[in-house]
Amino acid sequence: MTKLFGTDGIRGEAGVFPLDAQTVEIIGGSLAIHLRNKLGRAPVIVVGRDTRESGEWIEKALARGITQTGAQSTSAGIITTPGVAFLARTIPADAGVVISASHNPYKDNGIKVFAPSGRKLDEDTERLIEQDVLAQEAQPSHGLDSSNTAPVTNDQADSLRERYLDFLAGKIGHDLSLRDVRLIVDCANGASFNVAARLFERLGASVTSINDTPDGRNINLGSGSLHMESLQDAVRQQKADLGVAFDGDADRSLFVDSGGHLVNGDATLWVLGKYLKSKGQLHHDTVVATVMSNIGLEIAFKSEGIELIRTDVGDKYVLEELLRSGATLGGEQSGHIIFPRLSLAGDGMITTLCLLRAMMEENRTLLELTAGFKNFPQILVNVEVAVKKPFAEIQEIQNAADNIEAELGTRGRLLLRYSGTESLARVMLEGERQDEIEKHADELATVIRKTLGS
């Protein structure tokens, strides 16, 4: 069976299967039907979207599918992904649906579903929806009461967005004064454009907002967390205390310190991990990250008595490990940070507030707080392969990998894996010297080409 849901929901080009209007309507109806089967009643589903030009018609198609089953579709309009997760928990609704392709270009879009807990939709329900889509079986139910599908007003969406803003400022930002803080916010022309500056201004900051005029096609275009250069320039020119860049749906954030230096997700975890430990709030003195986090983070944490647990790539796996281990902080190098005691969804604005709190309470700049973390050199080599055999079954590859790991010791790292979508083996190496890891990467890539190449 064709798999539509990836680790971050359904994603693809807007207007092309499975994100054509007919299929989206089927997805909406199928989700509503399977929720009703679980609940024994018609569900309430809250829907939000980012600023892509395709978002509005995709939301309408989804709402048609939902309401034709007798369920209720509540629109939050343009709002961040974590904003929808928050609303699903507090309206309360039975699910939250985000229409967004995150950091992708405007031509792409996606559908991501949250349970009221803030966790993503369970895989069993995803498989049921896939079956309905591929069999074209999720047709509108006739004779069901749809009187609860009154048209959505802008006032309603504005009210829901204000509820989320009140949560961020009132609960997460409680007692946090940003008076005299000069902050530059890059909204990526995305979903944070109508809330980010207002949030930080409410807490007293002096805010300059850039890339905050979405036109449906400029989301993530030369802006936001994928393109930090303009934010770095703005921080230097305006002598700001901090710059923050969100991606299109604002579930992640990257930072620029007062010196104009990029602070990625690893460096953010370093600052927040130390801060939470100093407050006695870092459970088990453990932080969760992925296999892509730099070995420099692991070495730095070890010097502070903090253990780093690694998971597969994806915030879904970070969250699973956070809940399994009881850890209170986790995230990815990309800036997707999760505080499970605050929200099970990564939230770029929550991350920013927590980082600002650390700066204010310790009375130190972000440049000072990131001291002690060294990003080790890294190289990634892709090797075309004819077949994806387990590396451990090929003695030449295993021997070469073992020799490299022995030479790197505890001051380096080798990660060898296959691409999930292409016929590629990925060789990732980290170490103290660039020339050393380049030599090792070339050696291993040569062995892989010889044994697995076409």
Domain limits of the chain?
A: 10-153, 173-369, 378-452
pLDDT at 150: 41
Q: Do 10-153 and 173-369 agree at the fold level?
A: yes
Amino acid type, 398: Q
pLDDT mean over 311-327: 94
pTM confidence score? 0.90
pLDDT band, residue 153 (cuts 50/70/90): low
Question: Cα-atom radius of gyration of the chain, to the nearest Å?
Answer: 23
Give the tokens for residue 135.
């069999």
Strand 108-114 to 206-210 pairing = unpaired
Architecture, CATH, for domain 378-452: 2-Layer Sandwich (3.30)
Helix 21-39 × helix 123-135 angle, to 10°: 130
Asked whether residue 137 carries a pLDDT value surpassing 90, the answer given is: no
187-203 tens-digit pLDDT? 999 999 999 999 999 99
pLDDT digits (tens, 9 = 90+) for 86-122: 999 999 999 999 999 999 999 999 999 999 988 888 9
Reply yes or no on whether the pLDDT at 26 is more than 60.
yes
pLDDT at 249 over 80: yes
**Do residues 173 and 101 make contact, with C-beta atoms less than 8 angstroms apart?**
no
Give tens-digit pLDDT for 27-84.
999 999 999 999 999 999 999 999 999 999 999 999 999 999 999 999 999 999 999 9
Of 42, 26, 33, 24, nearest to 137 by C-alpha is 26
Q: Residue 436's pLDDT band (boundaries 50, 70, 90)?
A: very high
Average pLDDT over residues 389-398: 94
Q: At what angle do helices 55-67 and 21-39 cross, to 10 degrees?
A: 40
Pairing of strands 378-384, 286-290: unpaired
Rounded to 5°, angle at Cα 84 from 79 and 85: 145
Catalytic residues: 102
Q: Which CATH architecture has domain 10-153?
A: 3-Layer(aba) Sandwich (3.40)
* pLDDT, position 118: 85
CATH number of 173-369: 3.40.120.10
| Average pLDDT, integer, range 420-438 | 91
Please state, rounded to an integer, the average pLDDT across all residues of the chain: 93
